Amino acid sequence: MKLGVLISGRGSNLQALIDATADPAFPAEIAVVISNIADVQGLERAAKAGIPTAVVDHKAHDGRPAFETALTATLEGHGVRLVCLAGFMRLLTKGFVDHWRDRIINIHPSLLPAFKGLNTHERVLHYGVKFTGCTVHYVRAEMDDGPIIVQGAVPVLPGDTADSLGARVLGVEHRIYPLAVRLVAEGRARVIGNAVNVDQPPGDGDGTANIVVINPAG
């Protein structure tokens, strides 16, 4: 399955996908990495791995629809079948999301539907939550909404800061994003209503599973 990865910055989750897709047995490959900002580290990561890159500058287009038309043209020009948002800091319109419905996924640093939006780790600490984590989900028009594919959980430890907690969560993000892409590429993550059923490999369990990665040691 050909992936198109959308970024706006350093691309740490992009690197996790680059590392995963370097394995010939992985069922997907990155066809293009697109940034809305030039000269970001993520583009350097992709170029170093020999992956085609493109810059589609949102400021160079007259409004979001025109920007997203250019995004879609670039993605489809590279034969992309699954769009992966990896630190892409632009809100997408319903038209774009509907065009790529069930073919676009995102990773968010909380256990959705809790703590949507920004500053998640600060809010987790403010409310005294004992476990937090990250979520890979199919994208819907509403922000940080959509059927959940994979979640990873970590404990909130005594003395945590937003930075220390964020680093712990990021380590799990790098594990679950490639897992989610694998499940989608293998046709095992099936959207049913507002949820995702994950088919297990033949002979493994009862045929469906909710995948949860726990990292208790941090």
Catalytic residue among 58, 61, 78, 108: 108
**Is 78 one of the annotated active-site residues of the chain?**
no
Yes or no: say if 179 and 17 are a contact pair by the CB < 8 Å rule. Answer: no
Q: Alpha-carbon distance 46 to 44, whole Å? A: 5
Yes or no: say if 74 and 56 are a contact pair by the CB < 8 Å rule. Answer: yes
Dihedral (CA of 146, 106, 138, 169) sign: negative
- The conformation of residue 110, written as its DSSP 8-state character, comes to S
Return the active site residues: 108
